[in-house]
Amino acid sequence: MHIKEELAERHTLSVLVDNEPGILARIAGMFTARGYNIESLTVTDVSEDQSVSRITIVTSASSHVMEQIIAQLDRLVPVHRVTDLTAFGPHVERELALVKVAGRGDDRIEALRLADVYRARVVDATTASFIFELTGSTDKIDSFVALMREVGLVEVARTGVVAIARGAEAA
Amino acid sequence: MQAEKSGADILIEALCDIGVDTIFGYPGGAVLPIYDALFNQSRIRHILVRQEGGAVHAAEGYARSTGKPGVVLVTSGPGATNAITGITDALMDSIPIVVITGQVATHLIGTDAFQEADTVGLTRHCTKHNYLVKDPAKLGGVIHEAFHIATSGRPGPVVIDIPKDVQVATAPYKKPGPIEHRAYRPQVRPETALIEAAVEMLAAAERPILYTGGGIINAGPGASQMLRELARLSCAPVTSTLMGLGAFPASSPQWLGMLGMHGTYEANMAMNKADLMVCLGARFDDRVTGRLDAFSPQSRKVHIDIDRSSINKNIRVDLPIVADVGRAIEDMVKLWKARQHPKSDLAEWWRRIEGWRARDSLAFPGGGKEIMPQAAVKALFAATRGRDPIVTTEVGQHQMWAAQHFGFEGPNKWLTSGGLGTMGYGLPAAIGAQIGNPRALVIDIAGEASIQMNIQEMATATQYRLPVKVFILNNQYMGMVRQWQELSYAGRYAESYSDSLPDFVALAEAYGWTGIRIEDPGDLEDGIARMLAAEGPVMVDCVVAKLANCFPMIPSGAAHTEMLLHDAEVSGEMDDEAKALV
Ligand SMILES: Cc1ncc(C[n+]2csc(CCOP(=O)(O)OP(=O)(O)O)c2C)c(N)n1
Ligand SMILES: [Mg+2]
């Protein structure tokens, strides 16, 4: 017997929650407990009195599992609101990456040239290395990191996706 | 300035304000301040169990039979971990309980202190919600909020972990007003347009079926009343999950019996052939649906549930309604009457149902010199009919036979572990039910294996003079396991024999109970009569046919139409796909 897998689709969810101890474990744990996947998860408080946090989760699932994920999130006591930004429509998604590259000679010049093309900023430099700072979509960062691999990538730190709906209203 | 109270006193005060009069618990180092506060008062009665797991099941039994939340108090570390099975059980079956656990002092948390366990971490995913209270000033508010969460919306267990220093430290306490939670607002009232659509669908259906579940019991006795009314108006047949038994009277001609894996032929066939199914407070559990793609294939589906995540989880429905099921049925009834929908003509549908019913799927072979377990349940039912008993069960064949052959006329009389299937539930649940209903006849229909899982609670019944009756269907096997081994593994009975059983009669007497053994079919009635006549707790060791199997049965992964009705149809070995299903 073999175990079958379902086709998955990538969605970005925005979840407003009470900023209480353990909230991250509650959300992340619910995903593992129910076998949902998390591609990235970010969390920080976003209200003036630090009482509400926004959690941005990128997950992939089939459409009926996605409906379940949203319902399961919504059912957690500290969750105020869940928005599926992918289903909602126009929204902005960004990620920030810090990319360390080491090398000399041609590799070093090529790294700088590519960074320029991607509008990455140099935030640290030695005679043998750079750290680039890059903001953009996940795809853009993926392809930049892939290029850097060829010219001396040392390590990468990424924030994961943050996202917000376009337009004047809160989603 | 308001006088300050210790955390322990705040807890007692808040519990009294909420109306709690009974706690099931077990003491230990991390709850000593609370026990001392209990000692100094008389408003709350503490029931001392013999193991924390027993306390939680007792609280569940109390809650399920009274409609009030059950309350548990246990110590840190092993006290809390022992409670976890019961907490998970309450989550699966949506039972409102509040479990208060002691914790090591706040400055010791995280140091691997004596009897420290990460209780909020361990219970995060087996509670509806949980709290670690580090500030005594917040304790009162948390307790009130915990009861609100446990009892509203889809009920469930809530854990409050209270460090020992917080029990001792002082703070002011004031009874809060109605709880307005910032984020948690269950949707109770159904949308009118959806109710209209549901009524129209039901009135237009030619082959409707009402599929009811534990949600109706949770919605209170009024919901069961409304269900009867809706059934009367619509003439639709009614079936129920294991958890929903009693919401609709078993004596009604509209009652089809339980559906699902061990449901009746008529219930499962009607589900399969229906053109409209109205699911009321049930959740399409795999024990009910069988193979998903073959489940009620011709029906349009209405699903009313207070928990949005239950809707479209396993089965896609045409009309989802998020609401308290009692309110929703009430609205349906009102609308039906207001529109003066005529009584539907379901004669043809009922003719087909009567045909399925004529198969008499609960019939069982005679046992000759042995007592058939089904016959024992029927005799128990017959002997207790006028007494409106509360019946609890353990888990296994006896549980299914009780569900099949014991008829319930009203809600809150049938207490069983459905979702988690926890062996050892029945005795402590019976104790909790007896505490909540001192005058009721409470019977635990048990298996000889399950009863040993919380046998220590016999002492609790003795201590509080609780006249619970434990009726063991002793087949000397973990019968349900043996039955599956017979079906799927060609009768290789790996570890399912109940070896080295105690002498249950002697055991009963050792605990100060009455012990009765019934071995002969001719003694069945008399033995039951003696059990009912005895004043205190009674344990009956009813020796039954060893190898009887529970039918009908839909093997896992099969469709409702592939029901096995008799032993003769049983195949000896199953393929891997079927073996992989629970
Ligand atoms: C705590 C727990 N462990 C294991 C099981 C698996 N299980 C389900 S039924 C059963 C056998 C129960 O035997 P018994 O109580 O004698 O009941 P019978 O089926 O014979 O009526 C077992 C082991 C369970 N449900 N719960
Ligand atoms: Mg047995």
Burial level of A128, CB count in 10 A (0-12/13-18/19+)? Answer: exposed
Which residue has better confidence, B582 or B548?
Answer: B548
Query: Is the CB of B394 inside a 6 Å radius of any atom of ligand 1?
Result: yes
**Which residues in chain B are contacts of A31 at CB distance < 8 A?**
none
Token pair 């953009």 in the structure block, residue: A136
A 55-94: CB under 8 A from B: 64, 67-68, 71-72, 74-75, 77-80
Residue nearest to atom 3 of ligand 1 (CA): B423
Contact B565, B551 (CB under 8 A): yes
pLDDT at B461: 98
User: Is B309–A75 a contact, with Cβ atoms under 8 angstroms apart?
Assistant: yes
**Which residues in chain A are contacts of B124 at CB distance < 8 A?**
22, 25-26, 29
Helix H or strand E encompassing B360: none
pLDDT averaged over chain B? 96
What does the pLDDT average to over B231-240?
97
User: Is B149–A77 a contact, with Cβ atoms under 8 angstroms apart?
Assistant: yes
What does the pLDDT average to over B111-123?
97
| Angstroms from B348 CA to nearest CA on chain A | 36
CA B64 to chain centre: 7
Give the pLDDT confidence of B192-229 residue by residue, as tens digits.
999 999 999 999 999 999 999 999 999 999 999 999 99
Q: How many contacts does A have with B, using Cβ atoms within 8 A?
A: 46
Query: Is the previous residue joined to B552 through a cis bond, with omega within 30 degrees of 0?
Result: yes
Q: Is the dihedral of CA B415, B418, B420, B423 positive or negative?
A: positive
Contact B405, B373 (CB under 8 A): no
**Is B571's pLDDT higher than 70?**
no
Token pair 């399925």 in the structure block, residue: B356
- For B390, phi then psi, to 5°, come to -95, 125
pLDDT at B137: 97
Any CB–CB contact under 8 A between A4 and chain B?
A: no
pLDDT at B474: 98
**Is B276's pLDDT higher than 80?**
yes
What does the pLDDT average to over B156-168?
98
pLDDT at B1: 59
Distance CA B549, CA B421 (A): 18
Any CB–CB contact under 8 A between A6 and chain B?
A: no
Give the pLDDT confidence of B339-390 residue by residue, as tens digits.
988 877 999 999 999 999 999 999 999 989 999 999 999 999 999 999 999 9
Any CB–CB contact under 8 A between A26 and chain B?
A: yes
**Is B569's pLDDT higher than 80?**
no
- B513 CA distance to ligand 2 middle (Å): 21
Cα distances (Å, whole numbers) of residue B56 to B238, B288, B531: 32, 26, 27
Copy the structure tokens of residue A5.
């897998």
- B276 CA distance to ligand 1 middle (Å): 36
- B446 CA distance to ligand 1 middle (Å): 10
**Is B477's pLDDT higher than 70?**
yes
- B514 CA distance to ligand 2 middle (Å): 21
Rg, C-alpha atoms of chain B: 24
Chain A interface disruption, residue of B124, B134, B151, B292, most A CBs within 10 A: B124
Which residues sit opposite B173 in a β-bridge? none
Q: Is the dihedral of CA B555, B558, B563, B569 positive or negative?
A: negative
Q: Is the dihedral of CA B101, B104, B106, B111 positive or negative?
A: negative
| Angstroms from B311 CA to nearest CA on chain A | 9
Distance CA B95, CA B70 (A): 9
In our burial notation (b when 16+ CB lie closer than 10 A, e otherwise), range B335-348 reads: bbeeeebeebebee
- In this prediction, the residues of chain A whose per-residue pLDDT falls under 50 are none
Distance CA B242, CA B244 (A): 6
Any CB–CB contact under 8 A between A22 and chain B?
A: yes
Residues of B marked active site are found at 52, 114-115, 164, 480
Ligand nearest to the CA of B480: 1
Which of these, B6, B310, B336, lies nearest to B171 by C-alpha position?
Answer: B6
Query: Is the CB of B448 inside a 6 Å radius of any atom of ligand 1?
Result: yes
Instruction: Map out the domains of chain A with their CATH numbers.
Output: 9-88 (3.30.70.260), 92-164 (3.30.70.1150)
Distance CA B435, CA B232 (A): 35
Contact B295, B559 (CB under 8 A): yes
What is the complex's ipTM, to 2 decimals?
A: 0.90
- For B556, phi then psi, to 5°, come to -60, 140
Within 13 Å, how many C-alpha atoms sit on residue B446's CB side?
Answer: 30
Contact B475, B448 (CB under 8 A): yes
The 3-state secondary structure of B392-459 reads EECCCHHHHHHHHHCCCCCCCCEECCCCCCCCCCHHHHHHHHHHHCCCCCEEEEEECCHHHHCHHHHH
B100 — pLDDT class (breaks 50, 70, 90): very high
Q: Is B328 helix (H, G, I), strand (E, B) or coil?
A: helix
- B527 CA distance to ligand 1 middle (Å): 25
What does the pLDDT average to over B531-547?
98
Distance CA A71, CA A89 (A): 19
Q: Which atom of ligand 1 is nearest to the CA of B398?
A: 21
Which residues sit opposite B445 in a β-bridge? B393, B471
User: Strands, DSSP E only, in B477-524?
Assistant: 514-518
Q: Among B395, B417, B427, B445, which is best to mutate for testing ligand 1, by the most ligand atoms less than 8 A from CB? A: B395
Contact A70, A150 (CB under 8 A): no
Distance CA B223, CA B479 (A): 35
What does the pLDDT average to over B68-74?
98
Query: Which residues are within 8 A (CB) of A117 and not within 5 positions of it... i.e. 6 or more apart?
Result: none
**Which residues in chain B are contacts of A80 at CB distance < 8 A?**
182-183
Chain A interface disruption, residue of B184, B284, B574, most A CBs within 10 A: B184
Which residues sit opposite A81 in a β-bridge? A16
pLDDT at B582: 67
In our burial notation (b when 16+ CB lie closer than 10 A, e otherwise), range B61-92 reads: bbbbbbbbbbbbbbbbbebbbbbbbbbbbbbb
Copy the structure tokens of residue A109.
């010049």
**Is B278's pLDDT higher than 80?**
yes
pLDDT at B162: 98
Query: Is the CB of B94 inside a 6 Å radius of any atom of ligand 1?
Result: no
User: Strands, DSSP E only, in B49-205?
Assistant: 70-74, 97-103, 129-132, 157-163, 170-171
**Is B423's pLDDT higher than 90?**
yes
User: Strands, DSSP E only, in B247-389?
Assistant: 255-258, 276-280, 300-305, 319-322
pLDDT at B479: 98
User: Is A80–B316 a contact, with Cβ atoms under 8 angstroms apart?
Assistant: no
Query: Is the CB of B102 inside a 6 Å radius of any atom of ligand 1?
Result: no
What angle is formed at CA B125 by the lines to CA B121 and CA B129, rounded to 5 degrees?
A: 85
CB atoms within 10 A of CB A46: 14
Any CB–CB contact under 8 A between A17 and chain B?
A: yes
Which DSSP symbol is given to B297? T
Of B121, B307, B580, the CB nearest to A75: B307
Angle between the N-to-C axes of helices B192-204 and B325-339, in degrees from 0 to 180, rounded to the nearest 10: 60
Which of these, B293, B218, B250, B240, lies nearest to B65 by C-alpha position?
Answer: B218
pLDDT at B30: 98
N-to-C CA span, chain B: 60
**Is B570's pLDDT higher than 80?**
no
pLDDT at A129: 97
Token pair 């009314």 in the structure block, residue: B229
Copy the structure tokens of residue A38.
């998390």
